Each structure stands twice: as C-alpha cells, then as structure tokens.
Amino acid sequence: MTSRTRVLIGWAVVVAILLGGAYVIVARNGPTAGSEMPSVSAH
C-alpha cells in the first residue's frame, strides 16, 4: 500500500466518521421542521 493510498483511506475514514456522527446527532436532536434551521447569511 503506497503512502498516497494510506492518506486517501485516512481521509475517507475521517469524512465517514464526521458524516456518520452528524447523522446520529441530527437524528437525536435535529429539527422536525425547516423553520428550526439556523439562519446564516452569505458573509
């Protein structure tokens, strides 16, 4: 396994953990309606 492959796998794992963690948090605490969205503007 080349170092480039290892780096790619590392990034994929990090992103998967972040997206999976976000899914769990949203499922537990997320909004039931779009009106609950945090409001942000283009800076």
Residue 23 within binding range of another protein, rule CB under 8 A: yes
- CA 19 to CA 37: how far, in whole Å? 18
CB 18 within 8 A of CB 12: no
Residue 10 within binding range of another protein, rule CB under 8 A: no
Residue 5 within binding range of another protein, rule CB under 8 A: no
**Measured from the CB of residue 37, what is the shortest distance to another protein in angstroms?**
5
- CA 8 to CA 15: how far, in whole Å? 11
CB closer to another protein, 2 vs 29: 29
Ordered alpha helix ranges (H), 1-43: 3-29
**Measured from the CB of residue 16, what is the shortest distance to another protein in angstroms?**
11
